[in-house]
Amino acid sequence: MTTYLLAGGGTAGHVNPLLAVADLLRAREPDAEVLVLGTREGLEARLVPERGYELLFVDKVPFPRRPDRRALAFPGRFRRAVGQVREIIGDRGVGVVIGFGGYAAAPAYVAARREHVPTVVHEANAKPGLANVLGARRAAAVGVAFEGTSLRGARTVGMPLRREIVDLDPDALRVEASAHYGLDPARRTLLVFGGSLGARRLNEAFADAYRDVLDAGWQLVHLTGAGWSGDDPGAPGYVVRPYEDRMDLAFAVADFIVSRSGAATVSEISALGIPAVYVPYAVGNGEQALNARSAVAAGAAMMIPDAEFTPERVRTGVLPLLTDPDRLARMRSAASTVGTRTGAENVVALIDEALAPLGDIGPH
């Protein structure tokens, strides 16, 4: 029986793919021990126990960004974190460490190497994080969600996705999804969203240009996020909601999407084969623009910079797409070739590969 240690967390972008892989491991090997390593401060502290997995903690030790007092304390604190993970590996008989990035992953990679335990790395973003850059140097296998991600030994395996996306049949759910929003299932629908907190540029642009979308013959579902204080005009065919617990219904009703381009968002949209316009979040290190790169290159999506996304750009950049059936068909055809729903299975295949030299592969 194999004991798996899945390390990562901090944000949903790390925790959700980790849980997708954990679920698949548990489904195929009910007797295996699937452990999760995280920090007390990250989102994993809530999500992992809710899913029924044992969560083991390691100290959160951020990499220093400048030569200050914290930088001087870093080596000692990191050594303690590595020691914590080495103790877990020894006490629990861990056979393989699978890292997804974040604060828990870096000490897990170092501890696994010192304990002679194989590691597998999965990177969700097109621009890899520092922990995974470190882990990839000595990993038995490295998988990335997006083509062109610069990690040593990387193979494109896609994103491990939640089951509601993997199992989604948009055509079968179309009538239910349309009824959920009070829309006509026979009419095309544009879905706009920017994440749980919303996206100000998207919200402002469509609050002004929604009438143009309706006049073009489309319906519009606009998920504004909790931070938006704008008004709902109550126009027929225009649905405004602050959030959506059933994103499977939102995707099922969508014929086209305008959204941010976080790694999970791009992966889910691509897996479902829905054409899109991506408006990358402008703050950060540019990873959102890189996440959308492969979909744009394939002709499945278009990218508009955040600073340029205005009501007028909706009229001149988005509406011409919505009113061009031939181009929409080409984009949808291209979209069906970009994504994958087998990201979790592909990562598990890497795990099996890492374990193969040890003769410890679980059942397929």
Looking at the fold, whether 222 and 299 belong to one and the same domain comes out as yes
Looking at the fold, whether 67 and 182 belong to one and the same domain comes out as no
Looking at the fold, whether 130 and 211 belong to one and the same domain comes out as no
Domains identified in the chain, total number? 2
Looking at the fold, whether 173 and 297 belong to one and the same domain comes out as yes
pLDDT in tens, the chain (364 residues): 899 999 998 888 889 999 999 999 999 999 999 999 999 998 999 999 999 999 999 999 888 777 777 888 888 999 999 999 999 999 999 999 999 999 999 999 999 999 999 999 999 999 999 999 999 999 999 999 999 999 999 999 999 999 999 999 999 999 999 999 999 999 999 999 987 666 899 999 999 999 999 999 999 999 999 888 888 999 999 999 998 999 999 999 999 999 999 999 999 999 999 999 999 998 777 889 999 999 999 999 999 999 999 999 999 999 999 999 999 999 999 998 999 999 999 999 999 999 997 664 443 3
Torsion from C-alpha of 174, 175, 177, 181, nearest 10 degrees? 130
The residue type of 4 is: Y
Identify whether 124 is part of a domain.
Answer: yes
In the DSSP assignment, the letter for residue 307 is G
Lookup: tokens for 118: 């194989």
Identify whether 225 is part of a domain.
Answer: yes
Lookup: tokens for 233: 């005009």
Quick one: three-class SS letters along 172-197?
Answer: HHHHHHHHHHCCCCCCCEEEEECCCC
Backbone angles phi, psi at 227, to 5 degrees: -85, 0
Instruction: Please answer whether residues 259 and 194 qualify as being in contact, where contact means their C-beta atoms are separated by less than 8 angstroms.
Output: yes
> Residue 126 in 3-state DSSP?
coil
Lookup: tokens for 261: 């381009």
Query: Using CA of residue 100, residue 105, residue 108, residue 109, what is the dihedral sign?
Result: positive
Looking at the fold, whether 261 and 211 belong to one and the same domain comes out as yes
Instruction: Please answer whether residues 118 and 138 qualify as being in contact, where contact means their C-beta atoms are separated by less than 8 angstroms.
Output: no
Identify whether 63 is part of a domain.
Answer: yes
Looking at the fold, whether 101 and 192 belong to one and the same domain comes out as no
Identify whether 298 is part of a domain.
Answer: yes
Identify whether 194 is part of a domain.
Answer: yes
Looking at the fold, whether 289 and 347 belong to one and the same domain comes out as no
> Residue 311 in 3-state DSSP?
helix
Looking at the fold, whether 330 and 353 belong to one and the same domain comes out as no
Identify whether 363 is part of a domain.
Answer: no
Identify whether 134 is part of a domain.
Answer: yes
Q: What are the residues whose beta carbons fall under 8 Å from the beta carbon of 359, sequence distance 6 or more?
A: none
Looking at the fold, whether 152 and 25 belong to one and the same domain comes out as yes
Instruction: Please answer whether residues 57 and 35 qualify as being in contact, where contact means their C-beta atoms are separated by less than 8 angstroms.
Output: no
Residue recorded with tokens 């509406």: 319
Looking at the fold, whether 186 and 93 belong to one and the same domain comes out as no
Looking at the fold, whether 147 and 255 belong to one and the same domain comes out as no
Structural domain of 244 = 164-338
Q: What is the CATH number of the domain that holds 240?
A: 3.40.50.2000
Looking at the fold, whether 78 and 202 belong to one and the same domain comes out as no
Q: Which of 72, 36, 38 is nearest to 57 (CA)?
A: 38
Dist. CA 24–CA 344, nearest whole Å: 7
Identify whether 11 is part of a domain.
Answer: yes
